[in-house]
Structure 1
Amino acid sequence: MIRSLVFFITFTFLVQCSTSPTGRKQIILVKDAEMNEMGTAAFSEMKTKTPVDTAATANQYVNCIVSAELAVTHDTTGVESWEVVVFRDNTPNAFALPGGKIGVYTGMFSVAKNKDQLAAVIGHEIGHVIARHGNERVSQNQLAGGSVKILESLGKPTVAGALGLGAKFGVLLPFSREHESEADIIGLELMAKSGFDPRQSVELWKNMSALGGSKTNELLSTHPSDATRMKNLNAAMPNAMVLWEKAKAEGKRPNCQL
């Protein structure tokens, strides 16, 4: 009874004191250092299971965009340096893990058709990290298990799954709709602040929508629908345009080319 009360008080304190970059209250139960260690371990393991593309052109292109966006990113998770890897995989996807680990699949280049669209993708992934979405995912799993010490017994496969990597590390599990929508808005601001055209974020989702395929109804899915994402991005566009114009006036015009 007493332990339950102490846990409830601690839980309430954490919820009230933790907020995301957009001001949303969060459930954060894990220390940043521990999350960063988990992300680093999972990323290292992934690099042994998924082919890495070492082509200079692709890597310079991706790193150019990442560098521009990180220059305007405010991160409080304790990341000392970010690591970016291009994976040779035809899946149009990208991901980021705690600890500042970013992975971009070569398949994304055919959907994000220019630097601005890829900046929307990468900004979104950076958003997941700085908003501690991975920490929230793990914290929610801990609460569901009734413990705040679950991580002590996790093995690599379980750690990877908790962070959103599938069993073979080639499948990326989605965040919640709330996390995805928040990362969209954070990414929109990051791309605009770093000099990329924020309007291209909507064009990106038009491209994604054009891929077709079987898509689960939004109410049953952990991702917002493409239409919802474009609606939310358009709603936030006036502010993003102001940020973009300011960035251009400051001389921020990233010259990233594939």
Structure 2
Amino acid sequence: MSLLRHPRLAALACAALLAAGCASTTTGSVATDGRGRSQLLLVSPEQVMQQSLQYYDQQNQKARAQGKLVTSGAEWSRVNAVMQRMVPQVAAFRPDAARWPWQLVLIDEDTVNAHVMAGGKITFYTGILRKLRLTDDEIAAIMGHEMAHALREHTREKISQSAAGDMALQIGGALLGVGEGAVALAGLGKQLALDMPFSRHMEGEADLYGLELAARAGYDPRAAISLWQKMAQAGGGSGPGFLSTHPSAGDRMASLQGAMPRVMPLYEQARARR
């Protein structure tokens, strides 16, 4: 029996699936004032991990073939040292993450970027180190942000959200008896009204969780402000925030500044222990 031929049954199945998929991957952050957030997680972590590792391997093979993959040397060692110092702090949010096989690769490209794959596979580009002349504290701000994406399983959440949105559009079209053109228009509305703001929300969430990770590891969280000042000057924060999947540099700095009183005590405690 096709559910799309029985739209009411499909709608009920969709609602049940969405309800069952709501969970949270971590505890709340001090930087978010302890507030947690329920996440839509319809796909399994194993599925996302498999896809992420496949992409990560392809990325590394391509960089290696081009002679751009860096896995040792002064720059790699510096960034890896920051990561290794921060990894134990992930247990504050989810104990299992401290046992993940966290791994860093550095790609020798003139790109101001870094990203993470599910399970803690982190990629930095030499461009972000060299162009922004990053301090260790600023590297920690970026590292914390990327680690937070992995901890919060944002990739899994985005895939789940996209699947749920597509399902809702198909069911809505069947219920209303509208044509494909109207459904496509609704899809554009969904992208502007749901997908983009939610992506911005996840970016902001990663900023705040990352701020706490850096502070717990004894890196000055105030470096996140100087980092985004540099990013704005380099053009990385340009463009209107409304039609972007990333918050503007100004919005990010305001949010980070607002969380600073809550994370500074963690930084001071960590520095006192070192």
Q: 1-side partners of 2:90 and 2:47: how far apart?
A: 21
Alignment correspondent of 2:78: 61
Alignment correspondent of 2:20: 13
CA gap of 1:175–1:126, structure 2 versus 1, over 3 A, is farther
The answer on whether the counterparts of 1:93 and 1:105 sit within 8 Å (CA) in structure 2 is yes
Q: List per-residue Cα deviations over 1:24-74 (Å, max 9, x = no partner).
A: 121111111221121111100111223212441112111100011111112
Q: Does 1:134 align with 2:140?
A: no
Radius of gyration: which is bigger?
2
Q: Does 1:237 align with 2:260?
A: yes
Identity of aligned residues (%): 33
The answer on whether the counterparts of 1:20 and 1:26 sit within 8 Å (CA) in structure 2 is no
Q: 2-side partners of 1:195 and 1:109: how far apart?
A: 20
Unaligned 5+ segments in structure 2 are 1-7, 29-35, 169-196
**Partner SS state of residue 103, structure 1:** strand
Q: 1:49 aligns with which of 53, 56, 62?
A: 62
Q: 2:105 aligns with which of 85, 92, 95?
A: 85
Query: Displacement of 1:214 after TM fit?
Result: 8.8
Query: Displacement of 1:213 after TM fit?
Result: 7.3
The answer on whether the counterparts of 1:194 and 1:244 sit within 8 Å (CA) in structure 2 is yes
Q: 2-side partners of 1:78 and 1:194: how far apart?
A: 14
The answer on whether the counterparts of 2:90 and 2:97 sit within 8 Å (CA) in structure 1 is no
Alignment correspondent of 1:199: 222
TM (norm. structure 1) is 0.80
Give the number of the structure whose residues are more often helix, by fraction.
Answer: 2
**Partner SS state of residue 69, structure 2:** coil
Q: Does 1:105 align with 2:105?
A: no
Q: 2-side partners of 1:19 and 1:144: how far apart?
A: 21
Amino acid at match of 1:120: A
Amino acid at match of 1:220: L
Alignment correspondent of 1:36: 49
CA gap of 1:102–1:235, structure 2 versus 1, over 3 A, is same
The answer on whether the counterparts of 1:124 and 1:187 sit within 8 Å (CA) in structure 2 is yes
**Partner SS state of residue 219, structure 1:** coil
Unaligned 5+ segments in structure 1 are 148-173, 252-258
The answer on whether the counterparts of 2:115 and 2:124 sit within 8 Å (CA) in structure 1 is yes
The answer on whether the counterparts of 1:90 and 1:107 sit within 8 Å (CA) in structure 2 is yes
Q: 2-side partners of 1:30 and 1:112: how far apart?
A: 39
TM (norm. structure 2) is 0.76
**Partner SS state of residue 146, structure 1:** helix
Q: 1-side partners of 2:237 and 2:211: how far apart?
A: 27
The answer on whether the counterparts of 1:32 and 1:78 sit within 8 Å (CA) in structure 2 is no
Segment drifting more, 106-115 vs 200-209:
106-115
Query: Displacement of 1:78 after TM fit?
Result: 9.2
**Partner SS state of residue 242, structure 2:** helix
Query: Displacement of 1:14 after TM fit?
Result: 2.1
Segment drifting more, 221-230 vs 21-30:
21-30
Alignment correspondent of 2:38: 25
Q: 2-side partners of 1:207 and 1:175: how far apart?
A: 25
**Partner SS state of residue 96, structure 1:** strand
CA gap of 1:207–1:79, structure 2 versus 1, over 3 A, is same
